[in-house]
Amino acid sequence: MLDTNHRVTIASGAAQAPDALPPSRLELRIAEKKAPYDDASAVLEASRCLYCADAPCTKACPSDIDVPTFIHKIATRNTVGAARTILSENLLGASCARVCPTEVLCAGACVYNHWGRPAIEIGRLQRYATEQALARQPDLLTKTRQPKTGKRIACVGAGPASLAAAGHLALEGHTVHIFEQQPRAGGLNIAGIAPYKLHAEDALDEVRFVLSLGDIHLRTGTQVVTGTAGAGEISTATLERDYDAVFLGLGLGTDTHLDIEGEQGEGVVGATTLILRIKLDAALSLAGIARAVVVGGGNTAIDVARELAQLGVKEVVIAYRRTAAVMRGYRHEMAAARLEGVRLLEERPPLAVVRDTQGKVSGLRVNVAGTSREETLPADLIVVAIGQNRLTQLAAAFAGVELERDGRVRIDEPTCRTGNAKVYAGGDCVNGGKEVVNAVQHGKLAARAITASFAQRHDKDRAHG
Ligand code: SF4
Protein backbone atom coordinates (compact mmCIF):
# COMPACT_ATOMS: atom_id res chain seq x y z
CA MET A 1 0.00 0.00 0.00
CA LEU A 2 1.36 3.43 -0.95
CA ASP A 3 0.21 6.62 0.74
CA THR A 4 1.10 10.24 0.07
CA ASN A 5 4.28 9.93 2.10
CA HIS A 6 5.34 7.04 -0.16
CA ARG A 7 5.22 4.70 2.76
CA VAL A 8 5.10 1.08 1.75
CA THR A 9 4.43 -1.47 4.44
CA ILE A 10 5.42 -5.00 3.71
CA ALA A 11 3.75 -7.56 5.88
CA SER A 12 5.70 -10.62 6.95
CA GLY A 13 6.14 -12.95 4.03
CA ALA A 14 4.04 -10.91 1.61
CA ALA A 15 5.90 -8.57 -0.70
CA GLN A 16 4.10 -5.63 -2.23
CA ALA A 17 5.30 -3.75 -5.27
CA PRO A 18 7.59 -0.84 -4.51
CA ASP A 19 6.96 2.31 -6.54
CA ALA A 20 6.52 1.43 -10.22
CA LEU A 21 8.94 2.51 -12.97
CA PRO A 22 8.08 4.90 -15.83
CA PRO A 23 7.01 2.77 -18.81
CA SER A 24 9.20 4.50 -21.42
CA ARG A 25 12.82 5.00 -20.46
CA LEU A 26 15.98 5.22 -22.53
CA GLU A 27 17.47 2.22 -20.72
CA LEU A 28 14.90 -0.01 -22.42
CA ARG A 29 16.64 0.70 -25.74
CA ILE A 30 19.83 -0.88 -24.40
CA ALA A 31 19.97 -4.64 -24.69
CA GLU A 32 21.60 -6.93 -22.15
CA LYS A 33 25.07 -8.00 -23.23
CA LYS A 34 25.01 -11.57 -21.93
CA ALA A 35 22.04 -13.80 -22.68
CA PRO A 36 20.89 -16.04 -19.83
CA TYR A 37 21.60 -19.78 -20.02
CA ASP A 38 18.91 -22.29 -20.87
CA ASP A 39 18.81 -25.56 -18.86
CA ALA A 40 21.03 -27.56 -21.22
CA SER A 41 23.70 -24.85 -21.54
CA ALA A 42 23.81 -24.34 -17.77
CA VAL A 43 24.25 -28.06 -17.04
CA LEU A 44 26.89 -28.35 -19.76
CA GLU A 45 28.89 -25.40 -18.42
CA ALA A 46 28.51 -26.60 -14.81
CA SER A 47 29.84 -30.01 -15.85
CA ARG A 48 33.16 -28.42 -16.88
CA CYS A 49 33.83 -27.37 -13.26
CA LEU A 50 36.56 -29.37 -11.51
CA TYR A 51 35.07 -28.73 -8.03
CA CYS A 52 38.51 -27.76 -6.80
CA ALA A 53 39.41 -28.31 -3.17
CA ASP A 54 40.29 -25.00 -1.51
CA ALA A 55 38.59 -23.41 -4.51
CA PRO A 56 40.28 -20.16 -5.60
CA CYS A 57 36.99 -18.90 -7.04
CA THR A 58 35.38 -19.00 -3.60
CA LYS A 59 38.37 -17.27 -2.04
CA ALA A 60 38.02 -14.51 -4.64
CA CYS A 61 34.30 -14.00 -3.93
CA PRO A 62 33.82 -10.97 -1.63
CA SER A 63 30.57 -12.50 -0.33
CA ASP A 64 32.05 -15.95 0.43
CA ILE A 65 29.74 -17.92 -1.87
CA ASP A 66 30.70 -21.61 -2.03
CA VAL A 67 31.13 -21.61 -5.80
CA PRO A 68 31.96 -25.29 -6.52
CA THR A 69 29.06 -26.43 -4.32
CA PHE A 70 26.47 -24.36 -6.15
CA ILE A 71 27.92 -25.28 -9.53
CA HIS A 72 27.81 -28.98 -8.61
CA LYS A 73 24.14 -28.60 -7.67
CA ILE A 74 23.40 -27.10 -11.09
CA ALA A 75 25.23 -29.98 -12.77
CA THR A 76 23.04 -32.41 -10.84
CA ARG A 77 19.91 -30.38 -11.71
CA ASN A 78 19.30 -29.24 -8.15
CA THR A 79 18.68 -25.64 -9.13
CA VAL A 80 16.82 -24.65 -5.97
CA GLY A 81 19.64 -26.09 -3.87
CA ALA A 82 22.15 -24.12 -5.93
CA ALA A 83 20.19 -20.91 -5.37
CA ARG A 84 19.99 -21.64 -1.64
CA THR A 85 23.78 -22.02 -1.49
CA ILE A 86 24.19 -18.66 -3.26
CA LEU A 87 21.50 -16.71 -1.42
CA SER A 88 22.48 -17.91 2.04
CA GLU A 89 25.68 -15.89 1.61
CA ASN A 90 24.46 -13.23 -0.81
CA LEU A 91 20.78 -12.27 -0.76
CA LEU A 92 21.36 -10.10 -3.83
CA GLY A 93 22.95 -12.99 -5.69
CA ALA A 94 20.68 -12.48 -8.70
CA SER A 95 21.86 -8.94 -9.39
CA CYS A 96 25.46 -9.65 -8.36
CA ALA A 97 25.47 -12.46 -10.95
CA ARG A 98 25.01 -9.79 -13.59
CA VAL A 99 26.89 -6.79 -12.22
CA CYS A 100 29.90 -8.35 -10.49
CA PRO A 101 33.17 -7.91 -12.40
CA THR A 102 33.62 -11.70 -12.42
CA GLU A 103 36.61 -11.33 -14.76
CA VAL A 104 38.60 -9.88 -11.85
CA LEU A 105 36.88 -11.82 -9.05
CA CYS A 106 35.68 -15.46 -9.08
CA ALA A 107 36.12 -16.26 -12.79
CA GLY A 108 39.41 -14.37 -12.79
CA ALA A 109 40.66 -16.81 -10.13
CA CYS A 110 39.40 -19.98 -11.88
CA VAL A 111 42.12 -22.56 -12.42
CA TYR A 112 41.24 -22.85 -16.11
CA ASN A 113 42.90 -19.44 -16.66
CA HIS A 114 46.29 -21.02 -15.89
CA TRP A 115 45.87 -23.48 -18.77
CA GLY A 116 44.79 -20.92 -21.36
CA ARG A 117 41.25 -22.32 -21.34
CA PRO A 118 38.07 -20.28 -20.83
CA ALA A 119 37.23 -19.84 -17.14
CA ILE A 120 33.97 -21.28 -15.87
CA GLU A 121 31.18 -18.76 -16.51
CA ILE A 122 30.40 -18.42 -12.81
CA GLY A 123 28.33 -15.24 -13.16
CA ARG A 124 26.04 -16.73 -15.79
CA LEU A 125 25.62 -19.92 -13.78
CA GLN A 126 24.78 -17.89 -10.68
CA ARG A 127 22.23 -15.93 -12.69
CA TYR A 128 20.71 -19.15 -14.02
CA ALA A 129 20.36 -20.69 -10.56
CA THR A 130 18.93 -17.63 -8.83
CA GLU A 131 16.50 -16.66 -11.59
CA GLN A 132 15.21 -20.16 -12.17
CA ALA A 133 14.81 -20.96 -8.50
CA LEU A 134 13.23 -17.65 -7.50
CA ALA A 135 10.72 -17.95 -10.34
CA ARG A 136 9.76 -21.44 -9.21
CA GLN A 137 10.13 -21.21 -5.46
CA PRO A 138 10.34 -17.57 -4.24
CA ASP A 139 9.92 -18.69 -0.59
CA LEU A 140 13.01 -20.90 -0.72
CA LEU A 141 14.60 -19.07 2.23
CA THR A 142 11.62 -18.20 4.40
CA LYS A 143 10.95 -21.77 5.52
CA THR A 144 13.96 -21.45 7.81
CA ARG A 145 12.99 -18.01 9.15
CA GLN A 146 13.35 -17.76 12.95
CA PRO A 147 10.41 -16.90 15.22
CA LYS A 148 9.90 -13.23 16.02
CA THR A 149 12.39 -11.86 18.52
CA GLY A 150 10.74 -8.50 19.27
CA LYS A 151 13.95 -6.68 18.32
CA ARG A 152 13.69 -3.66 15.99
CA ILE A 153 16.43 -2.45 13.69
CA ALA A 154 16.47 0.72 11.57
CA CYS A 155 18.28 0.66 8.23
CA VAL A 156 19.12 4.05 6.74
CA GLY A 157 19.12 3.90 2.94
CA ALA A 158 17.63 1.16 0.78
CA GLY A 159 20.58 0.29 -1.42
CA PRO A 160 22.32 -3.11 -1.61
CA ALA A 161 24.01 -2.86 1.82
CA SER A 162 20.80 -2.04 3.68
CA LEU A 163 18.74 -4.53 1.69
CA ALA A 164 21.19 -7.32 2.51
CA ALA A 165 21.23 -6.32 6.18
CA ALA A 166 17.44 -6.09 6.30
CA GLY A 167 16.93 -9.47 4.64
CA HIS A 168 19.33 -11.32 6.92
CA LEU A 169 17.92 -9.60 10.01
CA ALA A 170 14.35 -10.47 8.99
CA LEU A 171 15.33 -14.12 8.52
CA GLU A 172 16.62 -14.03 12.12
CA GLY A 173 13.14 -12.99 13.26
CA HIS A 174 13.83 -9.29 13.84
CA THR A 175 11.64 -6.42 12.68
CA VAL A 176 13.33 -4.02 10.26
CA HIS A 177 12.35 -0.50 9.27
CA ILE A 178 14.13 0.87 6.19
CA PHE A 179 14.23 4.65 5.68
CA GLU A 180 14.99 5.79 2.12
CA GLN A 181 14.91 9.37 0.88
CA GLN A 182 14.37 8.38 -2.77
CA PRO A 183 10.93 7.35 -4.05
CA ARG A 184 12.13 3.77 -4.67
CA ALA A 185 14.23 1.21 -2.88
CA GLY A 186 17.19 -0.38 -4.64
CA GLY A 187 19.84 2.34 -4.53
CA LEU A 188 22.65 1.82 -7.01
CA ASN A 189 21.01 -1.29 -8.49
CA ILE A 190 17.97 0.72 -9.59
CA ALA A 191 19.59 4.02 -10.41
CA GLY A 192 23.27 3.49 -11.13
CA ILE A 193 24.07 0.17 -12.80
CA ALA A 194 24.57 0.28 -16.56
CA PRO A 195 21.45 -1.09 -18.30
CA TYR A 196 23.47 -3.52 -20.43
CA LYS A 197 24.24 -5.28 -17.13
CA LEU A 198 20.99 -4.85 -15.22
CA HIS A 199 17.69 -3.17 -16.04
CA ALA A 200 15.82 -1.39 -13.28
CA GLU A 201 12.78 -3.70 -13.34
CA ASP A 202 15.02 -6.72 -12.67
CA ALA A 203 16.56 -4.88 -9.73
CA LEU A 204 13.05 -4.10 -8.46
CA ASP A 205 12.15 -7.80 -8.63
CA GLU A 206 15.08 -8.47 -6.35
CA VAL A 207 13.96 -5.71 -3.96
CA ARG A 208 10.56 -7.41 -3.77
CA PHE A 209 12.25 -10.73 -3.00
CA VAL A 210 14.26 -9.22 -0.14
CA LEU A 211 11.20 -7.44 1.27
CA SER A 212 9.33 -10.76 1.27
CA LEU A 213 11.85 -12.38 3.60
CA GLY A 214 10.20 -11.27 6.81
CA ASP A 215 8.93 -8.37 8.88
CA ILE A 216 10.45 -5.54 6.83
CA HIS A 217 8.82 -2.12 6.59
CA LEU A 218 10.04 0.21 3.86
CA ARG A 219 9.47 3.95 4.15
CA THR A 220 10.57 5.77 0.99
CA GLY A 221 10.55 9.54 0.55
CA THR A 222 11.86 9.85 4.10
CA GLN A 223 14.94 11.83 4.98
CA VAL A 224 16.98 11.05 8.07
CA VAL A 225 18.08 14.36 9.63
CA THR A 226 20.38 15.35 12.47
CA GLY A 227 18.14 18.01 14.02
CA THR A 228 14.43 18.19 14.73
CA ALA A 229 12.47 16.16 12.20
CA GLY A 230 9.71 17.72 10.13
CA ALA A 231 7.23 16.15 7.74
CA GLY A 232 8.77 13.30 5.74
CA GLU A 233 11.76 13.20 8.07
CA ILE A 234 13.01 11.18 11.01
CA SER A 235 15.85 12.25 13.29
CA THR A 236 19.02 10.34 14.15
CA ALA A 237 18.07 10.81 17.83
CA THR A 238 14.76 9.01 17.25
CA LEU A 239 16.51 6.15 15.50
CA GLU A 240 18.98 5.73 18.34
CA ARG A 241 16.26 5.95 20.99
CA ASP A 242 13.55 3.80 19.40
CA TYR A 243 15.54 0.96 17.83
CA ASP A 244 17.72 -1.79 19.24
CA ALA A 245 20.30 -1.23 16.47
CA VAL A 246 20.83 1.07 13.49
CA PHE A 247 22.49 0.13 10.19
CA LEU A 248 23.81 2.97 8.03
CA GLY A 249 23.86 2.13 4.32
CA LEU A 250 24.16 5.73 3.22
CA GLY A 251 25.81 5.22 -0.15
CA LEU A 252 27.45 8.22 -1.80
CA GLY A 253 26.17 11.70 -2.57
CA THR A 254 26.10 13.98 -5.60
CA ASP A 255 28.68 13.98 -8.40
CA THR A 256 31.90 15.86 -7.74
CA HIS A 257 32.46 19.00 -9.83
CA LEU A 258 35.48 19.81 -12.00
CA ASP A 259 35.53 23.42 -10.79
CA ILE A 260 36.60 24.78 -14.17
CA GLU A 261 35.43 27.76 -16.21
CA GLY A 262 32.13 27.28 -18.06
CA GLU A 263 31.11 24.18 -16.07
CA GLN A 264 27.89 25.63 -14.68
CA GLY A 265 24.87 25.48 -16.98
CA GLU A 266 23.18 23.34 -19.62
CA GLY A 267 25.19 20.67 -21.41
CA VAL A 268 27.38 19.61 -18.46
CA VAL A 269 26.09 16.83 -16.24
CA GLY A 270 27.41 14.53 -13.53
CA ALA A 271 27.80 10.88 -14.53
CA THR A 272 25.57 9.34 -11.87
CA THR A 273 22.90 11.99 -12.51
CA LEU A 274 22.90 11.11 -16.21
CA ILE A 275 22.89 7.34 -15.60
CA LEU A 276 19.95 7.72 -13.23
CA ARG A 277 18.04 9.72 -15.85
CA ILE A 278 18.81 7.16 -18.58
CA LYS A 279 17.43 4.45 -16.30
CA LEU A 280 14.44 6.19 -14.77
CA ASP A 281 13.49 9.47 -16.47
CA ALA A 282 10.83 9.01 -19.16
CA ALA A 283 11.34 12.65 -20.25
CA LEU A 284 15.05 12.35 -21.07
CA SER A 285 16.00 12.66 -24.74
CA LEU A 286 19.45 12.65 -26.31
CA ALA A 287 18.20 14.15 -29.59
CA GLY A 288 20.73 16.68 -30.85
CA ILE A 289 23.63 15.08 -28.97
CA ALA A 290 26.10 13.83 -31.59
CA ARG A 291 29.34 14.23 -29.64
CA ALA A 292 29.96 13.60 -25.97
CA VAL A 293 33.08 13.90 -23.85
CA VAL A 294 33.22 11.95 -20.60
CA VAL A 295 35.79 13.22 -18.09
CA GLY A 296 37.21 10.55 -15.81
CA GLY A 297 38.98 7.22 -15.75
CA GLY A 298 36.94 4.95 -13.49
CA ASN A 299 34.28 2.37 -14.16
CA THR A 300 31.51 4.96 -13.95
CA ALA A 301 33.19 6.94 -16.74
CA ILE A 302 33.40 3.81 -18.89
CA ASP A 303 29.80 2.80 -18.07
CA VAL A 304 28.31 6.14 -19.04
CA ALA A 305 30.44 6.34 -22.19
CA ARG A 306 29.21 2.90 -23.26
CA GLU A 307 25.61 3.82 -22.52
CA LEU A 308 25.87 6.95 -24.68
CA ALA A 309 27.45 4.97 -27.53
CA GLN A 310 24.77 2.28 -27.27
CA LEU A 311 22.07 4.97 -27.34
CA GLY A 312 23.38 6.26 -30.68
CA VAL A 313 25.65 9.18 -29.78
CA LYS A 314 28.05 9.09 -32.73
CA GLU A 315 31.28 10.28 -31.13
CA VAL A 316 31.97 9.38 -27.53
CA VAL A 317 35.36 10.24 -26.07
CA ILE A 318 36.71 9.54 -22.60
CA ALA A 319 39.16 12.27 -21.63
CA TYR A 320 41.39 11.01 -18.82
CA ARG A 321 43.98 13.16 -17.08
CA ARG A 322 46.52 10.36 -16.70
CA THR A 323 47.60 7.31 -18.74
CA ALA A 324 45.54 4.18 -19.46
CA ALA A 325 48.03 2.16 -17.42
CA VAL A 326 46.82 3.78 -14.19
CA MET A 327 43.12 4.05 -15.02
CA ARG A 328 40.87 2.78 -12.20
CA GLY A 329 38.37 1.42 -14.71
CA TYR A 330 38.66 -2.28 -15.55
CA ARG A 331 40.63 -3.12 -18.68
CA HIS A 332 38.02 -5.57 -19.94
CA GLU A 333 35.34 -2.87 -19.64
CA MET A 334 37.50 -0.38 -21.54
CA ALA A 335 38.18 -3.00 -24.22
CA ALA A 336 34.42 -3.56 -24.59
CA ALA A 337 33.86 0.20 -24.76
CA ARG A 338 36.39 0.49 -27.58
CA LEU A 339 34.53 -2.20 -29.53
CA GLU A 340 31.41 -0.05 -29.20
CA GLY A 341 33.23 2.93 -30.68
CA VAL A 342 34.27 4.78 -27.51
CA ARG A 343 37.67 6.50 -27.84
CA LEU A 344 40.03 7.01 -24.92
CA LEU A 345 42.23 10.11 -24.90
CA GLU A 346 44.95 9.82 -22.28
CA GLU A 347 46.65 12.66 -20.43
CA ARG A 348 43.97 15.23 -21.17
CA PRO A 349 43.31 17.18 -17.93
CA PRO A 350 40.30 19.47 -18.43
CA LEU A 351 40.83 23.24 -18.47
CA ALA A 352 37.50 24.82 -19.42
CA VAL A 353 34.09 24.12 -20.92
CA VAL A 354 33.78 26.01 -24.18
CA ARG A 355 30.40 27.57 -24.97
CA ASP A 356 29.16 29.44 -28.04
CA THR A 357 27.67 32.94 -27.94
CA GLN A 358 24.28 31.43 -27.04
CA GLY A 359 25.83 29.64 -24.06
CA LYS A 360 25.52 26.22 -25.68
CA VAL A 361 28.33 23.76 -24.99
CA SER A 362 30.62 23.32 -28.01
CA GLY A 363 33.63 21.57 -26.50
CA LEU A 364 36.02 20.86 -23.69
CA ARG A 365 39.41 22.57 -23.63
CA VAL A 366 42.11 20.24 -22.34
CA ASN A 367 45.84 20.13 -21.84
CA VAL A 368 47.68 17.74 -24.15
CA ALA A 369 49.84 14.99 -22.66
CA GLY A 370 51.86 16.93 -20.13
CA THR A 371 52.73 19.74 -22.55
CA SER A 372 51.68 23.38 -22.42
CA ARG A 373 49.71 22.76 -25.62
CA GLU A 374 45.93 22.94 -25.43
CA GLU A 375 43.22 21.51 -27.65
CA THR A 376 39.44 21.67 -27.73
CA LEU A 377 37.53 18.39 -27.93
CA PRO A 378 34.26 19.08 -29.76
CA ALA A 379 31.21 18.17 -27.67
CA ASP A 380 27.48 18.78 -27.38
CA LEU A 381 27.48 17.14 -23.96
CA ILE A 382 30.12 16.89 -21.25
CA VAL A 383 29.76 14.25 -18.57
CA VAL A 384 31.74 14.60 -15.36
CA ALA A 385 32.68 11.21 -13.91
CA ILE A 386 35.36 11.99 -11.34
CA GLY A 387 33.67 10.68 -8.20
CA GLN A 388 30.91 11.46 -5.74
CA ASN A 389 30.73 13.45 -2.54
CA ARG A 390 30.48 11.75 0.84
CA LEU A 391 27.21 11.73 2.79
CA THR A 392 28.73 10.76 6.05
CA GLN A 393 28.07 13.82 8.21
CA LEU A 394 24.81 12.09 9.05
CA ALA A 395 26.78 9.17 10.48
CA ALA A 396 28.85 11.52 12.61
CA ALA A 397 25.66 12.74 14.29
CA PHE A 398 25.57 9.47 16.26
CA ALA A 399 27.69 9.73 19.40
CA GLY A 400 30.85 7.67 19.09
CA VAL A 401 30.72 7.20 15.30
CA GLU A 402 34.01 8.29 13.79
CA LEU A 403 34.98 9.20 10.25
CA GLU A 404 38.21 8.47 8.43
CA ARG A 405 40.19 11.49 7.23
CA ASP A 406 38.65 11.17 3.76
CA GLY A 407 35.13 11.17 5.21
CA ARG A 408 34.37 7.42 5.12
CA VAL A 409 32.65 5.91 8.16
CA ARG A 410 35.13 4.02 10.35
CA ILE A 411 34.03 0.47 11.26
CA ASP A 412 35.38 -2.69 12.77
CA GLU A 413 35.64 -4.74 9.54
CA PRO A 414 34.53 -8.19 10.81
CA THR A 415 31.37 -6.79 12.43
CA CYS A 416 30.79 -3.49 10.60
CA ARG A 417 30.23 -1.92 14.00
CA THR A 418 31.10 1.76 14.43
CA GLY A 419 32.38 3.38 17.62
CA ASN A 420 28.77 3.42 18.84
CA ALA A 421 27.80 -0.06 20.04
CA LYS A 422 24.30 0.29 18.58
CA VAL A 423 25.31 1.68 15.19
CA TYR A 424 26.65 -0.36 12.25
CA ALA A 425 27.57 0.81 8.75
CA GLY A 426 28.44 -0.65 5.38
CA GLY A 427 28.66 -0.23 1.63
CA ASP A 428 29.90 2.83 -0.22
CA CYS A 429 29.80 5.13 2.83
CA VAL A 430 32.43 2.84 4.39
CA ASN A 431 34.52 1.71 1.42
CA GLY A 432 34.28 4.87 -0.68
CA GLY A 433 32.52 3.17 -3.61
CA LYS A 434 33.27 -0.45 -4.45
CA GLU A 435 31.18 -3.18 -6.07
CA VAL A 436 27.60 -4.13 -5.18
CA VAL A 437 28.90 -7.41 -3.80
CA ASN A 438 31.12 -5.59 -1.29
CA ALA A 439 28.12 -3.64 -0.03
CA VAL A 440 26.08 -6.85 0.26
CA GLN A 441 28.85 -8.47 2.29
CA HIS A 442 28.89 -5.54 4.73
CA GLY A 443 25.12 -5.81 5.16
CA LYS A 444 25.38 -9.52 5.89
CA LEU A 445 28.28 -9.14 8.36
CA ALA A 446 26.45 -6.34 10.17
CA ALA A 447 23.26 -8.41 10.40
CA ARG A 448 25.17 -11.34 11.90
CA ALA A 449 26.97 -9.07 14.37
CA ILE A 450 23.72 -7.34 15.39
CA THR A 451 22.07 -10.70 16.06
CA ALA A 452 25.12 -11.87 18.03
CA SER A 453 25.04 -8.66 20.09
CA PHE A 454 21.41 -9.33 21.06
CA ALA A 455 22.36 -12.82 22.21
CA GLN A 456 25.26 -11.43 24.25
CA ARG A 457 23.01 -8.81 25.89
CA HIS A 458 20.48 -11.54 26.65
CA ASP A 459 23.17 -13.73 28.27
CA LYS A 460 24.43 -10.75 30.31
CA ASP A 461 20.92 -9.89 31.49
CA ARG A 462 20.37 -13.48 32.60
CA ALA A 463 23.70 -13.58 34.41
CA HIS A 464 22.72 -10.45 36.35
CA GLY A 465 19.49 -12.09 37.37
FE1 SF4 B 1 35.27 -24.76 -10.73
FE2 SF4 B 1 37.07 -22.95 -11.66
FE3 SF4 B 1 36.17 -22.77 -9.14
FE4 SF4 B 1 37.80 -24.82 -9.82
S5 SF4 B 1 38.32 -22.63 -9.77
S6 SF4 B 1 35.92 -24.93 -8.54
S7 SF4 B 1 37.14 -25.18 -11.94
S8 SF4 B 1 34.96 -22.54 -11.02
Assigned domain for 21 exists: no
251-286 pLDDT, tens per residue?
A: 998 899 999 999 999 999 999 999 999 999 988 999
Contact 191 CB / ligand 1 (< 6 Å): no
Residue 281 CA to ligand 1 centre (angstroms): 41
366-383 pLDDT, tens per residue?
A: 999 878 899 999 999 999
Contact 274 CB / ligand 1 (< 6 Å): no
405-432 pLDDT, tens per residue?
A: 999 999 999 999 999 999 999 999 999 9
How high is the mean pLDDT of the chain? 92
Do 181 and 132 share a structural domain?
Answer: no
Do 230 and 284 share a structural domain?
Answer: no
- Asked if pLDDT for residue 1 goes beyond 60, the answer is no
Q: Which atom of ligand 1 is nearest to the CA of 58?
A: 3
- Asked if pLDDT for residue 458 goes beyond 80, the answer is no
**Which strands, in side-by-side order, build the sheet including 381-384?**
268-270, 381-384, 291-295, 315-319, 343-345
At 19 the pLDDT is 64
84-115 pLDDT, tens per residue?
A: 999 999 999 999 999 999 999 999 999 999 99
211-257 pLDDT, tens per residue?
A: 999 999 999 999 999 999 999 999 999 999 999 999 999 999 889 99
What pTM was estimated for this model as a whole? 0.90
- Asked if pLDDT for residue 2 goes beyond 80, the answer is no
pLDDT (average), residues 122-148: 95
At residue 386 the predicted structure's pLDDT band, cuts being 50, 70 and 90, is very high
Residue 118 CA to ligand 1 centre (angstroms): 11
Do 359 and 415 share a structural domain?
Answer: no
Do 370 and 282 share a structural domain?
Answer: yes
Q: Which atom of ligand 1 is nearest to the CA of 68?
A: 6
Residue after which a domain boundary falls, among 111, 136, 161 = 136
At residue 465 the predicted structure's pLDDT band, cuts being 50, 70 and 90, is low
The structural domain count of the chain equals: 3
Contact 68 CB / ligand 1 (< 6 Å): yes
Do 400 and 381 share a structural domain?
Answer: no
- Asked if pLDDT for residue 42 goes beyond 70, the answer is yes
For residue 337, give the CATH number of its domain: 3.50.50.60
Query: Among 51, 58, 73, 114, which residue has the most ligand 1 atoms within 8 Å of its CB, making it the best to mutate?
Result: 51
Residue after which a domain boundary falls, among 359, 388, 417 = 388
Assigned domain for 14 exists: no
At 14 the pLDDT is 34
Assigned domain for 9 exists: no
pLDDT (average), residues 171-187: 95
Contact 110 CB / ligand 1 (< 6 Å): yes
The percent of residues in the chain predicted with pLDDT above 70, rounded, is 95
Residue nearest to atom 4 of ligand 1 (CA): 52
Do 45 and 86 share a structural domain?
Answer: yes
pLDDT (average), residues 53-69: 97
At residue 9 the predicted structure's pLDDT band, cuts being 50, 70 and 90, is very low
Structural domain containing residue 286: 255-388
pLDDT (average), residues 120-134: 97
At 10 the pLDDT is 27
Do 332 and 245 share a structural domain?
Answer: no
Residue 71 CA to ligand 1 centre (angstroms): 9
Assigned domain for 97 exists: yes
Assigned domain for 316 exists: yes
Query: Among 112, 113, 125, 126, which residue has the most ligand 1 atoms within 8 Å of its CB, making it the best to mutate?
Result: 112
